[in-house]
Structure 1
Amino acid sequence: MTLFRPGDTVVRREVIRGELWFASPSICVQDDGDLLVTYQPPGSPFAFPDGEFPAGRHPWDLAGHRSWQGHGLLSLHWADVDHAIFVFWTGPERRFTGWYFNLQDAPRRTPIGFDTLDHELDIVWPAGAPSWEWKDVEEFARTGELRYPGRVSEIQAEGDRIAARLDAGARWWDESWATWEPDPSWTPRALPDGWESVPWANR
């Protein structure tokens, strides 16, 4: 297993139906082999490789998004877990906006980072809200079978599992991440040479 040190560049790639779909560099915050925490500074570039893409091109590509905007994205990824927790902030005071449970393939480590695939369906718990809520339910229903053939029920079950754990009061992440601040010297990274040629495996 490739372990990353704080400050290392970590490339997140998305693989859909055997093809590279998306890539973007981030920065390692911590990595103990089970929990990999990464930070994506504002301005971090997005890359959209060429391919056949029977499920269509990446939605951010279609929308013309070419880099991360806002305050930056902190992401908590666990080994063998089909979701990550994203942490967002907003406004000049960098106000925490809540927890975002991003359903996605468990990270598959590579020498340059990890591969995954976003599952469209998400759960969000806005800061100060009494409970969580589903996000992108209609989009998941529309695109799920095309993007994740044979896996729609499995993905929905993972969302239901997260919801049940939250309802039971479980907190499997450190809530102090809400007040985390990045190293001020961290600026957007470039994708390393040869990032497209690093082998990947389809789930």
Structure 2
Amino acid sequence: PPGGDHSVWWFTTDGGAFAGWYVNLERHVVRTDGDLAGIDAVDQELDGWVAPDRVWHWKDEESFAAKTGDPAFWSADEALAVRAEGERLRSLAEAGAPPFDGTWCDWRPDPSWALPTLPSGSLDAPPALPLTRPSGTPEHAAG
């Protein structure tokens, strides 16, 4: 969503029942450059799993902690911002607020829909978002 450093994914079982929400904490930027338009995202390692009863479980905490402070990943200050974004979403989940309000849990795509194809050249585009933040960039800069 605009202004959020995350995405939320709805998961189902093999039988089609709603299984829960996966909260992927990430930095992202929307690309609007013609044929190469889309979204670039950089995963921030720490994620959350929200069960259908809205109980939150952290994922990948050890790996997130191990990468914190490594110049190839994120600083301690950036790690605090990532966790704060997760805590914000945890509060929404526990309150049953959107997107954790049950909306879309029973949605399924029309089986007659064809799978989309990637636009030509889309995988050749240089990333719009660097893997690490440039020096002096605020932790929650737009993007």
**What is the TM-score with the length of structure 1 in the denominator?**
0.52
Q: What residue in structure 1 maps to residue 59 of structure 2?
A: 135
Q: Sort the Cα spacing of 1:200 and 1:166 in 2 relative to 1 into closer, same or farther, 3 A.
A: same
Contact 1:80 1:107 in 2 (8 A): no
Q: What residue in structure 2 maps to residue 193 of structure 1?
A: 120
SS of alignment partner, residue 155 of structure 1: helix
Q: Quick check: 1:100 aligned with 2:27?
A: no
Q: What residue in structure 1 maps to residue 73 of structure 2?
A: 148
SS of alignment partner, residue 111 of structure 2: coil
Give the partner amino acid of 1:143.
K
CA offsets, 1:93-140, max 9 Å, x none? 211111111111144233421111111111111224x62111111111
More strand by share: 1
Q: What residue in structure 2 maps to residue 109 of structure 1?
A: 31
How far, CA to CA, are the matches of 2:88 and 2:46 in structure 1? Answer: 13
Q: What residue in structure 1 maps to residue 138 of structure 2?
A: none
Q: Quick check: 1:177 aligned with 2:100?
A: no
Structure 1: where are the runs of 5+ without partners?
Answer: 1-77
Over aligned residues, Cα RMSD in angstroms? Answer: 2.4
Write the mapping of 1:20-59 to structure 2, written as runs, cut at 5 A: none
Q: What residue in structure 2 maps to residue 87 of structure 1?
A: 10
How many residue pairs get aligned? The number is: 123
Percent identity over paired residues = 34
Q: Sort the Cα spacing of 1:176 and 1:155 in 2 relative to 1 into closer, same or farther, 3 A.
A: same
1:200: Cα distance to partner? 1.6
Greater relative contact order: 1 or 2 (C-alpha under 8 angstroms, separation 6 or more)?
A: 2
1:186: Cα distance to partner? 3.4
CA offsets, 1:38-57, max 9 Å, x none? xxxxxxxxxxxxxxxxxxxx
Q: Sort the Cα spacing of 1:199 and 1:82 in 2 relative to 1 into closer, same or farther, 3 A.
A: closer
Contact 1:96 1:178 in 2 (8 A): yes
Q: What residue in structure 2 maps to residue 61 of structure 1?
A: none
How far, CA to CA, are the matches of 1:192 and 1:184 in structure 2? Answer: 22
Match of 1:121 among 46, 54, 60: 46
SS of alignment partner, residue 138 of structure 1: helix
Contact 2:45 2:64 in 1 (8 A): yes
Give the partner amino acid of 1:120.
E
Q: What residue in structure 1 maps to residue 85 of structure 2?
A: 158
